[in-house]
Amino acid sequence: MGSFGVVVTRAGIRRVGGDPDKTLPEGWDRLDGKTGAPVGIDKGWDYAPGASVADDIKALNGKLPRLPAQIGARLFERNLVQNVGDLNAQFAEFVDEALTTYVQQRVMIIGALKPKWVDAAAKRGVRVESAEIAVADKAVQHTFRGTPHVKVSSTRQRDRLAKVNPLDLDWYKALPGHLRDPRAVLLDPTQKEPVFLLIYDVPGSQAKLVVEVYTYLAKTKDVLNTVQSGRMIHQADILNDIRRGVVVIEGEV
Protein backbone atom coordinates (compact mmCIF):
# COMPACT_ATOMS: atom_id res chain seq x y z
CA MET A 1 0.00 0.00 0.00
CA GLY A 2 3.05 2.21 -0.31
CA SER A 3 2.61 5.55 1.42
CA PHE A 4 -0.67 4.61 3.10
CA GLY A 5 0.72 3.03 6.31
CA VAL A 6 1.04 -0.61 5.26
CA VAL A 7 3.17 -1.52 8.33
CA VAL A 8 0.49 -0.40 10.76
CA THR A 9 -2.29 -2.06 8.79
CA ARG A 10 -0.58 -5.43 8.34
CA ALA A 11 0.49 -5.50 11.98
CA GLY A 12 -3.06 -4.71 12.96
CA ILE A 13 -4.38 -7.62 10.90
CA ARG A 14 -2.06 -10.00 12.70
CA ARG A 15 -3.12 -8.56 16.09
CA VAL A 16 -6.68 -9.68 15.47
CA GLY A 17 -5.71 -13.09 14.13
CA GLY A 18 -5.91 -12.47 10.38
CA ASP A 19 -3.49 -13.14 7.54
CA PRO A 20 -2.77 -10.03 5.40
CA ASP A 21 -1.09 -12.17 2.72
CA LYS A 22 -3.97 -14.58 2.25
CA THR A 23 -5.30 -14.70 -1.32
CA LEU A 24 -8.94 -15.37 -2.09
CA PRO A 25 -9.79 -18.70 -3.77
CA GLU A 26 -11.11 -18.70 -7.30
CA GLY A 27 -14.87 -18.25 -7.24
CA TRP A 28 -14.82 -17.14 -3.60
CA ASP A 29 -17.87 -14.91 -4.09
CA ARG A 30 -20.13 -17.72 -5.34
CA LEU A 31 -22.57 -19.07 -2.76
CA ASP A 32 -22.07 -22.69 -1.72
CA GLY A 33 -25.29 -24.64 -2.21
CA LYS A 34 -24.76 -26.61 1.00
CA THR A 35 -23.82 -23.84 3.42
CA GLY A 36 -25.44 -20.80 1.79
CA ALA A 37 -22.19 -18.90 2.39
CA PRO A 38 -19.49 -17.88 -0.09
CA VAL A 39 -17.20 -20.69 -1.20
CA GLY A 40 -14.50 -21.27 1.41
CA ILE A 41 -16.59 -20.06 4.37
CA ASP A 42 -17.68 -22.79 6.79
CA LYS A 43 -21.32 -23.21 7.67
CA GLY A 44 -20.68 -21.83 11.16
CA TRP A 45 -19.85 -18.47 9.57
CA ASP A 46 -23.24 -18.18 7.93
CA TYR A 47 -26.48 -17.00 9.55
CA ALA A 48 -29.99 -18.42 9.57
CA PRO A 49 -32.37 -16.48 7.29
CA GLY A 50 -34.88 -16.18 10.14
CA ALA A 51 -32.45 -14.72 12.65
CA SER A 52 -33.01 -11.14 13.76
CA VAL A 53 -30.70 -8.31 12.80
CA ALA A 54 -29.75 -8.03 16.46
CA ASP A 55 -28.64 -11.68 16.53
CA ASP A 56 -26.76 -11.35 13.26
CA ILE A 57 -24.84 -8.26 14.31
CA LYS A 58 -23.76 -9.98 17.53
CA ALA A 59 -22.45 -12.89 15.48
CA LEU A 60 -20.71 -10.64 13.01
CA ASN A 61 -19.06 -8.56 15.76
CA GLY A 62 -16.49 -11.30 16.28
CA LYS A 63 -16.21 -12.59 12.73
CA LEU A 64 -16.45 -9.69 10.31
CA PRO A 65 -13.13 -8.02 11.27
CA ARG A 66 -11.31 -11.31 10.67
CA LEU A 67 -12.67 -11.91 7.17
CA PRO A 68 -11.05 -10.59 3.99
CA ALA A 69 -12.76 -7.35 3.03
CA GLN A 70 -14.64 -8.61 -0.03
CA ILE A 71 -16.01 -11.67 1.77
CA GLY A 72 -17.05 -9.64 4.80
CA ALA A 73 -18.65 -6.97 2.64
CA ARG A 74 -20.73 -9.51 0.73
CA LEU A 75 -21.77 -11.43 3.83
CA PHE A 76 -22.93 -8.27 5.55
CA GLU A 77 -24.75 -7.05 2.44
CA ARG A 78 -26.51 -10.38 1.94
CA ASN A 79 -27.51 -10.95 5.58
CA LEU A 80 -28.30 -7.52 6.98
CA VAL A 81 -29.03 -5.11 4.17
CA GLN A 82 -32.73 -5.95 4.00
CA ASN A 83 -33.76 -4.72 7.44
CA VAL A 84 -31.73 -2.47 9.70
CA GLY A 85 -34.51 -1.34 12.02
CA ASP A 86 -33.24 -3.41 14.95
CA LEU A 87 -29.70 -2.24 14.32
CA ASN A 88 -30.79 1.42 14.25
CA ALA A 89 -32.51 0.91 17.61
CA GLN A 90 -29.42 -0.73 19.10
CA PHE A 91 -27.19 2.06 17.86
CA ALA A 92 -29.54 4.76 19.20
CA GLU A 93 -29.14 3.20 22.67
CA PHE A 94 -25.37 3.06 22.18
CA VAL A 95 -25.31 6.78 21.26
CA ASP A 96 -27.46 7.78 24.24
CA GLU A 97 -25.14 5.95 26.62
CA ALA A 98 -22.01 7.39 24.95
CA LEU A 99 -23.34 10.93 25.37
CA THR A 100 -24.28 10.52 29.02
CA THR A 101 -21.36 8.51 30.47
CA TYR A 102 -17.60 8.87 30.47
CA VAL A 103 -15.73 7.21 27.62
CA GLN A 104 -15.19 3.51 28.26
CA GLN A 105 -13.75 2.59 24.86
CA ARG A 106 -16.92 0.73 23.92
CA VAL A 107 -17.32 -0.07 20.22
CA MET A 108 -20.29 -1.14 18.10
CA ILE A 109 -20.17 -2.50 14.55
CA ILE A 110 -23.01 -0.84 12.66
CA GLY A 111 -22.39 -1.75 9.02
CA ALA A 112 -19.87 -2.65 6.38
CA LEU A 113 -18.13 -1.16 3.40
CA LYS A 114 -19.76 -2.13 0.12
CA PRO A 115 -17.84 -4.53 -2.13
CA LYS A 116 -17.53 -1.91 -4.89
CA TRP A 117 -15.95 0.57 -2.43
CA VAL A 118 -13.35 -2.02 -1.53
CA ASP A 119 -12.66 -2.66 -5.23
CA ALA A 120 -12.40 1.05 -6.02
CA ALA A 121 -9.95 1.60 -3.17
CA ALA A 122 -7.78 -1.32 -4.32
CA LYS A 123 -7.59 0.13 -7.84
CA ARG A 124 -6.16 3.30 -6.31
CA GLY A 125 -3.55 1.52 -4.23
CA VAL A 126 -5.46 1.44 -0.94
CA ARG A 127 -5.76 -2.10 0.39
CA VAL A 128 -8.75 -2.48 2.69
CA GLU A 129 -8.21 -5.51 4.90
CA SER A 130 -11.71 -6.00 6.34
CA ALA A 131 -15.17 -4.61 5.71
CA GLU A 132 -16.76 -3.70 9.04
CA ILE A 133 -17.72 -0.12 9.93
CA ALA A 134 -17.70 0.54 13.67
CA VAL A 135 -18.31 3.49 15.98
CA ALA A 136 -16.54 4.03 19.31
CA ASP A 137 -18.15 5.88 22.21
CA LYS A 138 -15.24 8.33 22.08
CA ALA A 139 -16.09 9.20 18.46
CA VAL A 140 -19.73 9.85 19.40
CA GLN A 141 -18.66 12.39 22.02
CA HIS A 142 -16.19 13.96 19.59
CA THR A 143 -18.85 14.28 16.89
CA PHE A 144 -21.15 16.21 19.25
CA ARG A 145 -18.54 17.99 21.37
CA GLY A 146 -19.60 21.36 22.68
CA THR A 147 -23.31 20.66 22.09
CA PRO A 148 -25.99 20.18 24.77
CA HIS A 149 -26.20 16.53 23.72
CA VAL A 150 -22.97 15.68 25.58
CA LYS A 151 -23.87 15.37 29.26
CA VAL A 152 -20.40 14.66 30.65
CA SER A 153 -17.34 16.91 30.81
CA SER A 154 -14.08 16.06 29.06
CA THR A 155 -10.50 16.79 30.06
CA ARG A 156 -9.35 16.73 26.43
CA GLN A 157 -8.91 20.22 25.03
CA ARG A 158 -10.14 19.29 21.56
CA ASP A 159 -13.40 17.98 23.03
CA ARG A 160 -14.04 21.27 24.82
CA LEU A 161 -14.14 23.09 21.49
CA ALA A 162 -17.62 23.29 20.00
CA LYS A 163 -18.20 21.16 16.90
CA VAL A 164 -18.60 23.26 13.76
CA ASN A 165 -21.90 22.51 12.01
CA PRO A 166 -22.79 19.39 14.04
CA LEU A 167 -25.02 16.70 12.63
CA ASP A 168 -28.64 16.33 13.67
CA LEU A 169 -28.66 13.86 16.57
CA ASP A 170 -31.74 11.94 15.41
CA TRP A 171 -30.22 11.57 11.94
CA TYR A 172 -26.99 10.30 13.47
CA LYS A 173 -28.82 7.72 15.58
CA ALA A 174 -30.07 6.14 12.34
CA LEU A 175 -26.52 5.75 11.02
CA PRO A 176 -26.75 1.99 10.28
CA GLY A 177 -29.52 2.71 7.78
CA HIS A 178 -27.72 5.70 6.27
CA LEU A 179 -24.58 3.67 5.61
CA ARG A 180 -26.50 1.68 3.02
CA ASP A 181 -27.18 4.55 0.66
CA PRO A 182 -24.89 7.61 0.59
CA ARG A 183 -25.38 10.01 -2.29
CA ALA A 184 -21.66 9.92 -3.04
CA VAL A 185 -18.58 8.15 -1.72
CA LEU A 186 -15.12 9.71 -1.89
CA LEU A 187 -11.73 8.24 -1.05
CA ASP A 188 -9.14 10.44 0.63
CA PRO A 189 -5.66 8.87 0.34
CA THR A 190 -3.91 12.02 1.57
CA GLN A 191 -4.34 11.19 5.28
CA LYS A 192 -1.90 9.14 7.36
CA GLU A 193 -4.54 6.44 7.22
CA PRO A 194 -6.86 6.65 4.18
CA VAL A 195 -10.50 7.57 4.78
CA PHE A 196 -13.79 7.16 2.97
CA LEU A 197 -15.98 10.27 2.92
CA LEU A 198 -19.70 9.47 2.72
CA ILE A 199 -21.90 12.31 1.47
CA TYR A 200 -25.63 12.56 2.16
CA ASP A 201 -28.44 14.90 1.21
CA VAL A 202 -30.29 16.16 4.29
CA PRO A 203 -33.06 18.75 4.41
CA GLY A 204 -31.61 22.07 3.34
CA SER A 205 -27.99 20.92 3.33
CA GLN A 206 -25.54 18.03 3.04
CA ALA A 207 -23.85 15.81 5.62
CA LYS A 208 -20.43 14.18 5.55
CA LEU A 209 -19.22 11.14 7.50
CA VAL A 210 -15.51 10.34 7.82
CA VAL A 211 -14.79 6.59 7.88
CA GLU A 212 -11.15 5.83 8.63
CA VAL A 213 -9.66 2.66 7.17
CA TYR A 214 -8.38 0.52 9.99
CA THR A 215 -8.23 2.43 13.26
CA TYR A 216 -6.26 0.78 16.07
CA LEU A 217 -8.21 0.82 19.35
CA ALA A 218 -5.63 0.48 22.11
CA LYS A 219 -7.87 -0.67 24.96
CA THR A 220 -9.62 -3.45 23.04
CA LYS A 221 -6.63 -4.17 20.78
CA ASP A 222 -9.03 -4.20 17.82
CA VAL A 223 -8.24 -2.75 14.41
CA LEU A 224 -11.45 -1.64 12.71
CA ASN A 225 -12.77 0.71 10.03
CA THR A 226 -14.40 3.43 12.11
CA VAL A 227 -16.70 6.41 11.72
CA GLN A 228 -14.44 9.08 13.17
CA SER A 229 -16.69 12.12 12.87
CA GLY A 230 -19.33 13.87 10.81
CA ARG A 231 -20.72 17.32 10.21
CA MET A 232 -22.97 19.38 7.98
CA ILE A 233 -21.20 20.73 4.88
CA HIS A 234 -21.70 22.84 1.77
CA GLN A 235 -21.03 21.91 -1.86
CA ALA A 236 -17.92 24.10 -1.76
CA ASP A 237 -16.47 21.86 0.97
CA ILE A 238 -16.70 18.83 -1.32
CA LEU A 239 -15.08 20.68 -4.21
CA ASN A 240 -12.24 21.78 -1.92
CA ASP A 241 -11.71 18.14 -0.92
CA ILE A 242 -11.43 17.12 -4.57
CA ARG A 243 -8.92 19.88 -5.29
CA ARG A 244 -6.61 18.54 -2.58
CA GLY A 245 -6.59 15.02 -3.97
CA VAL A 246 -9.80 13.33 -2.80
CA VAL A 247 -11.36 11.12 -5.53
CA VAL A 248 -15.00 10.27 -6.16
CA ILE A 249 -15.52 6.48 -6.31
CA GLU A 250 -19.33 6.36 -6.35
CA GLY A 251 -22.16 8.78 -7.13
CA GLU A 252 -21.90 12.39 -8.21
CA VAL A 253 -20.89 15.56 -6.40
| pLDDT beneath 70, residues of the chain | 1-66, 78-83, 154-160, 219-220
- For residue 91, the model assigns a pLDDT of 94
- For residue 218, the model assigns a pLDDT of 73
- For residue 5, the model assigns a pLDDT of 27
pLDDT in tens, 18-42: 555 556 556 655 656 555 555 555 5
R_g (Cα) of the chain, nearest Å = 18
- For residue 244, the model assigns a pLDDT of 93
How many Å apart are CA 105 and CA 103, to the nearest integer?
A: 6
Laid out side by side, the sheet with 107-112 consists of 107-112, 132-136, 222-233, 205-217, 195-202, 184-188, 247-251
Centroid of chain to Cα 117: 12
pLDDT in tens, 120-167: 999 999 988 888 899 999 999 999 998 999 998 765 545 557 788 999
- List the one residue out of 187, 231, 180, 223 whose CA is nearest residue 205: 231
**206 DSSP 8-state letter:** E
> Rounded to the nearest 10 degrees, how much is the dihedral formed by the CA atoms of 10, 8, 189, 220?
100
- Range list of β-strands (E), 151-194: 184-188
- List the one residue out of 179, 187, 175 whose CA is nearest residue 143: 175
- For residue 162, the model assigns a pLDDT of 78
How many Å apart are CA 129 and CA 21, to the nearest integer?
A: 10
Degrees to nearest 5, angle at CA 73 with 247 and 20: 85
- For residue 22, the model assigns a pLDDT of 58
- List the one residue out of 132, 19, 3, 154 whose CA is nearest residue 69: 132
> By the 8 A CB rule, do 134 and 226 touch?
yes
Fill in the amino acid letter for 107: V
- For residue 231, the model assigns a pLDDT of 96
Provide the whole-model pTM.
0.74
